[in-house]
Amino acid sequence: MTQIIPALIISDKNLYNDFEELKDRFERIKPFLAEFDNWVQIDITDGEFVTSKTNISFEELSYFTKLAKVEFHLMILRLGRSIDKWIGLGPKRIIFHIEAAKPEDINNTIKKCKQAQIEVGLALNPETPSSSIKPWLEDIDTVMFMGVHPGFSGQESLPDTATKIGLLHYNHPNIKIEVDGGVRVENIRQLKEAGADIFVVGSGLFVAPDVGQAIKDLKLALSD
């Protein structure tokens, strides 16, 4: 079963504070949440793992976990120091980057998410080989392929994304595959045929003049 998840991404224009910007984006998508089975993704960056930084408190983030099924995409270093706080917010899924964590921290994060009955996944930057996640494939719920270099929205998907997805799907057909970055009407069908199950869409929705029509177009492209 395929799924589209809207990404509530902070812009790099610094027009106003991050919480208010996320709220504005959430309000834009709120009338259509049923189309996404009530899921949203929130990107969190620390200014170290990627150059952009999300300035928002845990208390402010709880606003969203009370209203929707939230997937946190954590692009942060030293996750072991804060994982209990992220779990405490009550998200439905936590995705974190294999490049940002030591093996012992990966093991600990997976264990804590499982104990809290929160889905957990590992994300791969474009240059990271999918073989690097092999030790954890039996323990995680999903693998996220980054179709762009993480940190900023609006980028075009890298051309080899579908090939990487296809290779993992061929070797591990039962693992759930998520793709984030550069997902558009023009390429979503190709990504599905490669083996992707979950499609995270940010600017493909929010720069559209009509969000409702953009959702219809994405779903139509998936069903063709």
* Residues known to be catalytic: 43, 180
Closest listed residue to residue 21, CA positions, set 30, 32, 8, 35 = 8
CA dist 113 → 43, 94, 106, 132 (Å): 18, 8, 11, 20
Q: What share of the chain is helix, strand, coil (3-state, %, to 5)?
A: 40, 20, 35
Contact of 29 with 35, CB cutoff 8 Å: no
Can you tell me the distance from the alpha carbon of 52 to that of 10, in angstroms, rounded to the nearest whole number?
9
**How is residue 135 annotated by DSSP?**
G
Three-class SS of residue 197? coil
The CA distance from 198 to 179, in Å, is: 6
Strand partners, 43: 73
Residue 63 CB neighbours (<10 A): 14
